[in-house]
Amino acid sequence: KKAISHNTAPEELKKYFEQAVPEYDKDRVYTSDIKKIIKWYNILIDANILEFNEDEKNENTEKESGKKDENTKTK
C-alpha cells in the first residue's frame, strides 16, 4: 500500500511517520528525512520492488517474540 505523498504538510508527515515508527527520535529525524523516506518508499512500491506478505509478517513477529522470551529467561 502506498504511503501519503511526500509533499503533504509537515505536521501530517510527522503524524503519519509516528504511526509507522512510534519510537523514532524526534530530535534527530527532521521533516526532510521523513519526506525522503516516504518518497523512496512510494517509489519502491510503484516499482513493485517491495512485497509484503501478511503471513510472512506474522511469522517474523512470532520469531521476534520467541527471541525476546529466550533472552529474558534466567539461567
Is 21 within a domain? yes
Higher pLDDT, 13 or 74: 13
Q: Is residue 1 situated within a structural domain? A: no
Q: What is the pTM of this model?
A: 0.64
Instruction: Evaluate whether residue 45 is within a structural domain.
Output: yes
Can you give the pLDDT at residue 75?
47
List the domain range (segments joined by +) for residue 46.
10-72
> What pLDDT is attached to residue 53?
73
Number of domains in the chain: 1
Q: Which amino acid is at 47?
A: A
Residues 6+ apart with CB under 8 A from 2: 42, 45, 46
C-alpha cell at 73: 529467561
The model's pLDDT over 26-74, given as tens digits with 9 standing for 90+, comes to: 999 999 999 999 999 999 999 988 877 766 555 655 666 665 555 555 5
Section 1-11 average pLDDT: 91
51 located within any domain = yes
Q: Would 2 be classed as within a structural domain?
A: no
